[in-house]
Amino acid sequence: MEEIKYQSVLTCPKCSKTQIEKFSDVDCCHLSFKCRSCGFVMEPKQDGTCALCNYGTVKCPATQKDGNGICKCCKK
Ligand SMILES: [Zn+2]
Ligand SMILES: [Zn+2]
């Protein structure tokens, strides 16, 4: 069984700066991350993909477990 990763490198879409963020299983798909460089807030998109899947090098825990790479953690 593959190990779930709880740390990701997020890339800001505005200024292209990267920052390391840690997260947990709990509510990870609802998290938003503020760029420490320009202040842009990386948050879940309306299509239901979370901030981690959109901006991070590592998918959210739910998507990692699912294994198909499609984020649907925020779709209920
Ligand atoms: Zn930025
Ligand atoms: Zn996700």
Q: What is the pLDDT of residues 30-66, one digit of tens each?
A: 899 999 999 999 999 888 889 999 999 999 998 898 8
Tell me, in angstroms, the distance from the centre of ligand 2 to residue 37's CA: 23
φ and ψ at residue 55, rounded to 5 degrees: -120, -10
Output Rg (C-alpha) for the chain, integer angstroms. 12
**Residue 58 within any structural domain of the chain:** yes
Which residues does 63 contact at the CB level (< 8 Å), separation at least 6?
Answer: 53, 69, 70, 71, 72, 73
**Domain limits for position 39:** 7-65
**Residue 74 within any structural domain of the chain:** no
Residue 73 has pLDDT above 70, yes or no: no
**Residue 13 within any structural domain of the chain:** yes
pLDDT of res. 10: 98
- How many independent structural domains does the chain possess? 1
**Residue 29 within any structural domain of the chain:** yes
Report residue 57 as tokens.
Answer: 């090098």
Q: Say if residues 62 and 49 touch (Cβ distance below 8 Å).
A: no
> Which numbered ligand comes closest to the C-alpha of 64?
2
pTM of the model: 0.85
Tell me, in angstroms, the distance from the centre of ligand 2 to residue 62's CA: 7
pLDDT-above-90 percentage for the chain: 59
